[in-house]
Amino acid sequence: MVYYHDDEKEKNEQDQRTTRDKLKSRNKWVLPGVVGLLLGMFLFAVALPSLIRYDILPYQIVVSQDQLTTQNGETADLNDNLQRLSLDVTTEITDIVANVSPAVVGIENIQSEATFWDQESSDAGTGSGVIYKKTDNRAFVVTNHHVIQGADQIEVILSDGSRLAAELKGTDLFTDLAVLEMDGEAVEHVIEIGNSDEVKVGEPAIAIGNPLGLNLSGSVTQGVISGKQRAIPQDFDGDGRADWQTEVIQTDAAINPGNSGGALLNVNGHLIGINSMKIAQSEVEGIGFAIPIDAAVPIIEELETEGQMRRAFLGVEAYSLEDVAQVEWQRSLNLPNNVESGIYLQRIEVNSPATEAGLEPYDVITSLDDQEINNIIDLRKHLYQEKEPGDEMVVTYYRGKEQNQVTIKLTEQE
């Protein structure tokens, strides 16, 4: 028999009361929990499909099954409420490439090599070209002068791989342009000429050509117009002096060896330039150049009809004042403050019209025939588009702070 002290008995009764209270509290939440669970299951199984069907939910629910059971026991096809998405990979760029690529061709320069026993032909190089015209079943191609230079035979490779013999109609060293003529029976596509003067810096540009040879024919690169009216000095005789300054469009669309003569296009697929050269230094990336089509068209037309360019000759090596720091305008050229643009003469050709007229190095030309000359591009356009050999031209220039004017009779450039 067990005996308890009064305090132990009281403690035992208190523990029993606490246990009973906990059980009552736990049982109080069981019934509401069960009811809530049943209600949630009801809503999920019955109400949710109806909410989805009538698009009442503020968000989209993706269910793995194709069907849900409605409140009436009917099946609701989820495909009726889900929008089917289709991805069309055809873009404006792919459309342009599909339309224009057949007009961009490969050019193969074939030269003869004489040996002791026989004369053999060899491939001296490849490039690209653009079919710009078709008339009387004859097709005409523009490419670069350096692509066909020294060729004994020229072959044009169409986009389908067929080869056609081409005749050289004319070529121009200074603008790096050449025109070829060939049978046009197999030619179905001619490129559409655009307007290079209207292009804006930053707008998209597309280059099509045959980089690194015909194995990569029809390659497409995309970039932007990085600059307009760039004047790039060219040294043709290797004497370290610039013989010419070529007007070009600058782009970051990749232009590699073999792209020369290919097409530079705008977003409408129109020809805005003939790809011509690339700065091929290891530390330079993304700088390519193209001959603006607006400057090229008059040359192409004259090469096609005359076989060569007849240019008026002044006999100066000139550069734009904008390429010189303004502090040098006053210090080295000693110009008055009101002179804001022009070209300075760095070198005068011996026995040239400029020499006979008394022009000297560091003279600054500001106008020709009373037309303002802001840069070297303006000089070349006036000289080669508005003048002929034998014409006279009024030259306004500064020698230091003194303004002078002289009339020069132009000769023909050799």
Domain ranges within the chain, ordered by starting residue: 6-80, 88-308, 312-412
Report how far residue 222's alpha carbon sits from residue 230's, in angstroms, rounded to the nearest whole number. Answer: 20
Report how far residue 262's alpha carbon sits from residue 257's, in angstroms, rounded to the nearest whole number. Answer: 11
Do 211 and 107 contact (CB within 8 A), yes or no?
Answer: no
Q: What is the CATH number of domain 88-308?
A: 2.40.10.120
Give the tens place of pLDDT for each residue, 124-140: 678 899 999 999 899 99
Return the structure tokens found at 230: 């760039």
Question: Average pLDDT in the 28-54 region?
Answer: 62
Q: Which of 324, 202, 326, 327 is nearest to 267 (CA)?
A: 202
Q: pLDDT band at residue 17, thresholds of 50, 70 and 90?
A: low
Report how far residue 406's alpha carbon sits from residue 400's, in angstroms, rounded to the nearest whole number. Answer: 16
- Element holding 326 (H helix, E strand): helix 326-331
pLDDT of 78 > 50? The answer is: no
Amino acid at 338: N
Tell me which of 8 and 109 has the higher pLDDT: 109
Return the structure tokens found at 214: 């015909």
Tell me which of 40 and 340 has the higher pLDDT: 340
Give the tens place of pLDDT for each residue, 225-242: 999 988 887 777 777 766
Report how far residue 83's alpha carbon sits from residue 85's, in angstroms, rounded to the nearest whole number. Answer: 6
Q: What are phi and psi of 337, to 5 degrees?
A: -65, -25
pTM: 0.67
Strand, helix or coil for residue 387: coil
Report how far residue 263's alpha carbon sits from residue 207's, in angstroms, rounded to the nearest whole number. Answer: 6
Active-site annotation, residues: 146, 176, 260
**Which of these CATH numbers, 2.70.70.10, 2.30.42.10, 3.30.70.100, 3.30.300.30, describes 312-412?**
2.30.42.10
DSSP codes joined into one string, 346-395:
EEE-TTSHHHHTT--TT-EEEEETTEE--SHHHHHHHHHHS--TT-EEEE
Do 211 and 220 contact (CB within 8 A), yes or no?
Answer: no
Q: Which of 172, 275, 290 is nearest to 229 (CA)?
A: 290
What is the rounded end-to-end Cα distance, in angstroms, of the chain?
139
What residues contact residue 375 under an 8 Å CB cut-off, 6+ apart? 229, 231, 320, 321, 322, 341, 343
Return the structure tokens found at 96: 């342009």
Tell me which of 408 and 70 has the higher pLDDT: 408
Tokens 């072959």, residue located: 155
Return the structure tokens found at 304: 């096609």
Report how far residue 404's alpha carbon sits from residue 406's, in angstroms, rounded to the nearest whole number. Answer: 7
